[in-house]
Amino acid sequence: MKAPVDYLFHLADSALVLGQRNAEWCGHGPILEEDLALANNSLDLIGQARLLYQHAADQINGDAALAQRFAHLQGARQDGRVTEDTLAYFRDTAEFRNHTLMELPHHGPLVGYAVSERDYAVTIARNFLVSALMVLVWDRLQSSRDAQLAGIAAKSLKEVRYHLQHASDWLVRFGDGTEESHLRAQAAVDHLLPFCEAFWQPGPAERAAAQDGTGVDITTLREPWNLLVNETLAEATLTRHDQPHQGYVAQGHVGVHSEHLGFLLAEMQSLARAHPTAVW
C-alpha cells in the first residue's frame, strides 16, 4: 500500500520549502551557534524531503498513468526515470503543495515596496508552530499503512523533536525576555498564527490519504497542537489573538501560493534548470 503521491508532495514540499527558507540564515545567523542550529535544522528537513521525493519518484516510475502525468518534467532524469531532483527542481510554483506558512519571508507583513531585514523572532515562531504540528503528524504516520512512509516518519519524528525543543527554548527566551524581544515575539506570533488555520483544512490529497490509512486525519491533531502551543506561549508570556479565526485561510497546500514562493523557487531551482543534465 502506497500513500498518494500528492500527499507525499504535501509533506515533502513543506519540509523542502521550510528547509530552504531557514537555510537563508546560513552565514547570517545572529550568533554562530544559531547559524549552526538553523543549518542543521535545514539539513534534517531537506533530508526528510529527499526521502519523500524518492518514495514519490519510485511510484511515478512504476505506474504508467502517473508517469504520463509527470511526463512534462524532463530535468534531472536518470535513464529516463524521474528522480528526487526532477521533483524538487523542475516543478513550478503551482505544483507545490507546501503550506503557505513555510514560504513566508523571515519578517512581518510589508506594504508596497517596503523592505525589511530578517527578524529572528519570525524564524523561531514559525519553527515552533511547524515543529509542534510535525511531532504530532510524524508520530501518527509511524503507523501509516504505507510502510516506507512509516519508516520515514519514525526517523523524522526523532529529528523534529529536537527542532521543537530548540524553537520552544528560544520562543520562551524572546517572549519572557526584554521589552523589545517580547514585542517582536508577540508580533511574529500574531503574524504567523492565522496561517496555521490552513493546517486544519486538509486538501483532497490529505483527505484521500487519511481515508485509505496511509495518511493522518489532520483535524484530530488540532486539540493536541493547541495544548502544545498554548503551554509554551503561556510560559513565554505571549498571547494568542487568532481565535476564533477570521478571514482568509491560506491555500498553499492546494497549490495557491503567496507571491513569496516563486522567488524562493527561482533561487533554489535556477542552477538545476540552467544545467538540467548536470550531476553532482
Partner 1 sequence: MEMTEASLRAVALAVAHLADPEIPVISLGELGILRDIRTGADGVPEVVITPTYSGCPAMGQIEDDIVAALRAAGLPGRVVTQLSPAWTTDWMSEAAKEKLRAYGIAPPQCGSQPASATGVLQFSRHAAKPVDVPCPQCGSHHTTQTAPFGSTACKALYRCLDCLEPFDYFKPY
Contact residues toward partner 1 (CB under 8 A) are 33-34, 36-37, 39-48, 50-51, 135-136, 139, 142, 147-148, 150-152, 154-159, 161-162, 164-166, 168-169, 172, 224, 227-228, 231-232, 235
Give the contacts of 98 (CB within 8 A, at least 6 positions apart): 10, 13, 14, 16, 17, 18, 252, 253, 261
Contact call for residues 253 and 45 (beta carbons, < 8 A): no
Name the residue type at position 167.
A
Shortest reach from residue 254's CB to partner 1, in Å: 26
Shortest reach from residue 212's CB to partner 1, in Å: 20
Burial of 259 (0-12, 13-18, 19+ CB in 10 A): exposed
Shortest reach from residue 19's CB to partner 1, in Å: 8
Nearer to partner 1, 172 or 272 (CB): 172
Shortest reach from residue 85's CB to partner 1, in Å: 14
Shortest reach from residue 34's CB to partner 1, in Å: 8
List the helix and strand counts (H, then E) for the chain: 11, 0
Nearer to partner 1, 57 or 136 (CB): 136
Nearer to partner 1, 100 or 127 (CB): 127
Contact call for residues 206 and 98 (beta carbons, < 8 A): no
Shortest reach from residue 262's CB to partner 1, in Å: 25
Nearer to partner 1, 169 or 180 (CB): 169
Q: Which three cell numbers stand for residue 249?
A: 485561510
| DSSP assignment of 157-221 | HHHHHHHHHHHHHHHHHHHTS-HHHHHHHHHHHHHHGGGGGGGGS--HHHHHHHHHTSS--GGGG
| DSSP assignment of 12-77 | HHHHHHHHHHHHTTTTT-SSHHHHHHHHHHHHHHHHHHHHHHHHHHHHHHT-HHHHHHTTT--TT-
Shortest reach from residue 193's CB to partner 1, in Å: 18
Nearer to partner 1, 37 or 205 (CB): 37
Nearer to partner 1, 224 or 262 (CB): 224
Please choose, from the candidates 124, 105, 97, 123, the residue with its C-alpha nearest in 3D space to the C-alpha of residue 250: 97
Nearer to partner 1, 77 or 155 (CB): 155
